[in-house]
Structure 1
Amino acid sequence: MNGLLVIDKAAGMTSHDVVAMCRRILGERRVGHAGTLDPSATGVLVLGIGRATRLLRFVEDSDKGYVATAAFGITTSTLDAEGEVVAENDTSLLTEEDVRSAMKAFVGDIEQVPPMVSAVKVGGEPLYRKARRGEDVERAPRRVRVHELGLDSFEPGPRARATLRVRCARGTYVRSLVADIGDALAVGASVATLRRTRVGAFTETDAIPISEVTPEALRPMETAVAGYPRRSVDEAGARALVHGKPLAPGGIDGVYAVYGPDGLLAMAEDREGEARSLCVLTQG
């Protein structure tokens, strides 16, 4: 059994919960996911089944889309509604124009400090494990990219709220983004709700609830890398690639999908004058 599932994750479930449930439903141990969603978050979670798990890193490299409700004036320990409130500020004077103006500084390549409750590793250990022990370690800022940042709605008042729409590259934390916007406005902010609307080419309209998971719901492995450039090889080239031998360069910048006579064969890239496979999708 090989293919992809696009799940609409419900709130209250961890990404691992979804993987475990799909393993039981499908009777397949080889199940993984591309990009963790916080338990309180909902939306698109892409799962790889069988050999498709080898393609998940390429899905994870794709841009993501989110819709977040920002709660201005409320700062929490986890930067979302799950954490302890550590500061509160009145936002009665905050306007929609203030928010729009502050948001402009957070589009493009920006510096971002990852939250303590995250999978980022410091000293070889995920930050969330340190956070569970009550530790708060210094985190170096990281360069991330926000492609688009829009304001869908704004509700003024002592506890102003806004609906933000984000399209960002891998590694961007929306919780940190919202908190940084709140800091720029000198009132603080946290994420009240978060929904992932897109992972690469997969949108929330493609997603199904876990109750609808069946073998028939699997998508072909090729859909995982549909956005990558494509290269075709003959049977001899396919055999060489399967056995770990390099091919002549494809003349393609970056990573590309290699198709043999029987379909998707491998992911590869040109390096040092030859094409080398990054993963091969043969039996096993």
Structure 2
Amino acid sequence: MARKPKGRPISGVLVLNKPGGMSSNAALQKAKRLYYAAKAGHTGSLDPLATGVLPLCFGDSTKFSQFLLDADKGYASTFRIGERTDTSDSDGEVIEAKSAAHITEALVAEQLKAFKGEISQVPSMFSALKKDGQPLYKLARQGIEVERKARQVTVYSIALLAFRPGEVAEADIAVHCSKGTYIRSIAEDLGAALGVGAHVARLHRTQAGPFTDAQAVSLETLADMRGEGEPEVLDSLLLPVDAPVAQLPSLALPEATAYYFRQGNPVMDARAFALGDEGDMVRVFDQTGVFLGIGTLADDGRVAPKRLVASNSGS
């Protein structure tokens, strides 16, 4: 008989502002303890160096975390130009230093143009990408290097926000990109293009899918709100279960139809024709506004359950 999970069966999304120097899993576990939650997961690792938007899914929301894993991301970063490190960021040791005194703002802006669009990247050994369940950065710190395949990613925009010249210059960069884009690889490649090397000195994720900095809450805020009180005081910070898929159109089913949808059966609804094409997904609610899950549209007006919310499945 399966052991009942310890903790409260709460559901929803918390947009966490991950602190620097902590792994994404450590941040998740701390938030999970503060909420005394039975089930929780994060939606794509940030490197320990990085700070910023890390959506955490509790309970039923974990069923929709893949949508956030696949979502576009936004970053604000500072590159130090003139120094290469063994980790491509400021956590590592400087392995090469060259004067960047001749590097200008115009030159950096010009070189950044090459990184816009679809580009190929080889993930750093000091990234959070996993190999056999282990983050690469943990293997790298043991002196282990494994082969990494180049991957195609898309940089939708990359902008130079500020430039500070000097023997070691600094450039503040904003990037909007597809999932799997490594900012440290952009810094490394930019430094190579400039001929003096570069690394990431600061990395902050400003956006993950629909979630932004403005919604993010720190672990300190959670701890202060909780204090010596009960974990329920934190529940007001949770976004709805369907927040990861809020961009999808919605369909409210009448009571009889909602019953069959909950059981995992496709249902017919004439309004489905106006919501999209065959294969498109929709959020499905009952007539009282309770979220049932997501469904896939068929060309005959049917909506087939794709992922149901367990607490509303009728099981």
With normalisation by structure 1, the TM-score equals: 0.90
Which residue of structure 2 lines up, in the alignment, with residue 283 of structure 1?
311
Equivalent residue for 1:245, pick from 248, 265, 268: 265
Structure 2 residue 292 is matched with structure 1 residue 265: yes
Distance, in Å, in 2 between the alignment partners of 1:256 and 1:145 is: 26
Structure 2 residue 13 is matched with structure 1 residue 4: yes
Distance, in Å, in 2 between the alignment partners of 1:78 and 1:172 is: 16
Structure 2 residue 91 is matched with structure 1 residue 108: no
Q: For 1:256, give the aligned amino acid.
A: V
Which residue of structure 2 lines up, in the alignment, with residue 202 of structure 1?
211
Pairwise CA RMSD of aligned residues? 2.4
**1:123 Cα deviation from its structure 2 partner:** 6.6
**1:275 Cα deviation from its structure 2 partner:** 4.8
Residue-pair matches, total: 284
**Residue correspondence of structure 1 range 218-237 to structure 2 within 5 A:** 218-237=238-257
Which residue of structure 1 lines up, in the alignment, with residue 202 of structure 2?
193
Distance, in Å, in 2 between the alignment partners of 1:257 and 1:96 is: 47
The answer to whether the Cα contact below 8 Å between 1:69 and 1:194 also exists between their aligned partners in 2 is: yes
**1:107 Cα deviation from its structure 2 partner:** 0.8
**Residue correspondence of structure 1 range 103-252 to structure 2 within 5 A:** 103-122=112-131, 126-213=135-222, 214-247=234-267, 251-252=276-277
Deviations 1:114-162 (A, max 9, x none): 1112243457765334323312233221010111101000011110110
The answer to whether the Cα contact below 8 Å between 1:242 and 1:282 also exists between their aligned partners in 2 is: no
Using a 3 Å threshold, how does the CA distance of structure 1 residues 211 and 175 change in structure 2: closer, same or farther?
same
Distance, in Å, in 2 between the alignment partners of 1:132 and 1:272 is: 53
Distance, in Å, in 2 between the alignment partners of 1:125 and 1:14 is: 12
The answer to whether the Cα contact below 8 Å between 2:282 and 2:297 also exists between their aligned partners in 1 is: no
**Residue correspondence of structure 1 range 47-62 to structure 2 within 5 A:** 47-62=56-71
Q: For 1:283, give the aligned amino acid.
A: S
**Seq. identity, %:** 37
The answer to whether the Cα contact below 8 Å between 1:22 and 1:31 also exists between their aligned partners in 2 is: no
**1:62 Cα deviation from its structure 2 partner:** 1.8
Q: For 2:188, give the aligned amino acid.
A: A
Using a 3 Å threshold, how does the CA distance of structure 1 residues 153 and 259 change in structure 2: closer, same or farther?
same
Distance, in Å, in 2 between the alignment partners of 1:124 and 1:203 is: 28
Distance, in Å, in 2 between the alignment partners of 1:197 and 1:88 is: 30
**1:176 Cα deviation from its structure 2 partner:** 1.1
With normalisation by structure 2, the TM-score equals: 0.82
Q: For 2:311, give the aligned amino acid.
A: Q
The answer to whether the Cα contact below 8 Å between 2:16 and 2:55 also exists between their aligned partners in 1 is: yes
**1:102 Cα deviation from its structure 2 partner:** 0.8
Distance, in Å, in 2 between the alignment partners of 1:228 and 1:183 is: 42
Distance, in Å, in 1 between the alignment partners of 2:132 and 2:309 is: 34
The answer to whether the Cα contact below 8 Å between 2:46 and 2:128 also exists between their aligned partners in 1 is: no
Deviations 1:154-180 (A, max 9, x none): 011110110000111111111112211
Look up the SS of the partner of 1:23 in the other structure: helix
Look up the SS of the partner of 1:245 in the other structure: coil
Using a 3 Å threshold, how does the CA distance of structure 1 residues 120 and 50 change in structure 2: closer, same or farther?
same
Using a 3 Å threshold, how does the CA distance of structure 1 residues 135 and 232 change in structure 2: closer, same or farther?
same
Which residue of structure 1 lines up, in the alignment, with residue 26 of structure 2?
17
Distance, in Å, in 2 between the alignment partners of 1:116 and 1:154 is: 28
Using a 3 Å threshold, how does the CA distance of structure 1 residues 282 and 35 change in structure 2: closer, same or farther?
same
Distance, in Å, in 2 between the alignment partners of 1:159 and 1:68 is: 16
Deviations 1:169-218 (A, max 9, x none): 11111111221122222222110001111112211111111133312221
Distance, in Å, in 2 between the alignment partners of 1:235 and 1:144 is: 44
